[in-house]
Amino acid sequence: MARPILSLFIAATASLAMTASAASELPLEVVQIGVTPNGFSSQPRGWNSFGIQANPDTTPGFSFNQDSVVSQCNTLANTAALKDAGYVYCSLDSGWSVGGNGDEFGRIIYDSSNFDIPSLADHLHAEGLLLGVYVVPGAFIADEDKMILGTNVTIGSVCSGDNGLARCNFDYSQPAVQQWHNSVVDQFASWGVDLIKLDFITPGSPSNGVNLLPDLSGGVIAYHQAIVQSGRKIRLDISWKLDRSEKYFDIWETHADSMRTDQDINNSGQPTFVSWEVVQRAIDNYRQYITTVMQYNTTLTIYPDMDNLFVGNPASVSGVTDDERQTIMTHWLGAGANLIIGSDLTNLDDFGLNLLTNTNAIAIADFTARFPMQPRNPGTGNNSSQQLQAWIAGPDPSGTAVVVIANYGPDQGQGGFGTSLSGVQTVNVSWSDLGISGTFDVHDVWAGDDLGTENSGLSVKLSEGQSILYKLSRS
């Protein structure tokens, strides 16, 4: 993998003055993330099964059952670098539960032919890991005649219709609906569940192929309230590509701990996990997300979920080059996004393991868990989609900041920027572009190199798909 080339920031005086003037009209508003509704102050880190389930050719021998999941998640427990970096969640995606009915009270139950959830939780907890499960809105249509636990109310009296997922639609104005959610989450808590992924939420979940009601935000509120009353600390991650309007973002960030900013990014059914075209889309969706929600409030209480990280396996399995793998990791780190690995943990290469566990990079994740990055276009400081892009996280009160500079390569159809600059490009980013001033010590995070001090900006040569991750410390 070719190294990016950093040079001193040099620009003609007139050009620099024009850039500074343009950027000076765009002051930097630092974005922060505070404590989430369920009490978390960092993004979740771990592994999720969906990528392998949807792309089985990437992981020969994997079956979605307890033995295969334990094999994957034991890698988290037994690889000191992963565990030390905080990768502790072992999250099951769709298929762990019975798909057509619940128990005698209509509560979600595990598929005992493949999983014993309490014993899985016990095993994970003994290894210092945590358990995640997957749910969708509604109760089963087949359970409409069953009584909700602790009530004399049948499910069918508060849940009707067909959402296309074998489930009816709750009337969230009915108190018994909250009692159903409480009963489900109480059972999850008794099993030892630590994270709930709530999928198929609307407004959002575009092109879902089922029959969702246009507003399922009540499900997010109900699961949050159920978590609170359960007495167990459980994360709530909601999905997918959720509505970013102020009305709904307020619901998401006051009831959930992370929210998906895009659709699924994996190459479903393919022998590789992801394509660069879709990564370009995911990065631009994060740009759209952060530039929208920071208009409502620059102190957020929810983490962005950019979907699973497919960077751990060799390029031939991941589906992207090593430069692109590093760029993916850099952007997920910079965004303060969920660091949930989708790769085959039993087939990590040295490069992938370093991407996931590099101590300097994980320190960046700790920083962006409080100060997520936002785009600042080179030359203007604007926040539009650009092939040659810059981002800044912070500065924090001490003046420390994180800067990402990228060349995404030609737009492959979903990048949002529409340009096709080929080959190596020089990207000049002034302090004015970034909205900062002063003298900073510059550290190249991935290379581990201290690059000296800079007082005006950075200039870097980047190949297609390449990026660089800097930590700036005020001199």
Pairwise CA distance, residues 66 & 243, whole Å: 34
pLDDT value, residue 50: 98
Give the per-residue pLDDT at 4.
75
For 142-201, write each residue's pLDDT tens digit.
999 999 999 999 999 999 999 999 999 999 999 999 999 999 999 999 999 999 999 999
Q: What is the pLDDT of residue 41?
A: 98
**Angle at CA of residue 92, ends 91 and 94, nearest 5°:** 140
Q: Is the pLDDT of residue 10 over 60?
A: no
pLDDT at 207: 87
Measured from the Cβ of residue 78, the count of other Cβ atoms closer than 10 Å reads 11
Catalytic (active-site) positions: 199, 264
In Å, how far are 25, 115, 159, 301, 470 from 28, measured between CA atoms?
Answer: 10, 50, 48, 20, 18
pLDDT of residue 16: 35
The reported pLDDT for the residue numbered 5 is 67
What confidence tens digit (pLDDT) does each residue in 100-123 have? 999 999 999 999 999 999 999 999
Model confidence at 17, pLDDT cuts 50, 70, 90, reads very low
Given a cut of 90, whether residue 435 has pLDDT beyond it is yes
pTM above 0.85, yes or no: yes
Strands 425-430 and 457-462, by their bridges, are antiparallel
Contact in structure between 77 and 70 (CB atoms under 8 Å): no
For all residues of the chain together, what is the average pLDDT? 95
Report the alpha-carbon distance of residue 243 to residue 288 in Å, rounded: 11
- Per the CB < 8 A criterion, the answer to whether 399 and 431 are in contact is no
**What pLDDT score was predicted for residue 12?**
32
| Amino acid 6: pLDDT | 62
Tell me how far apart the alpha carbons of residues 372 and 259 are, in angstroms, rounded to a whole number.
14
Beta partners for 237? 197, 258
Model confidence at 276: pLDDT above 50: yes
Query: Is residue 393 predicted with pLDDT exceeding 50?
Result: yes
Q: Over range 372-398, report the average pLDDT.
A: 98
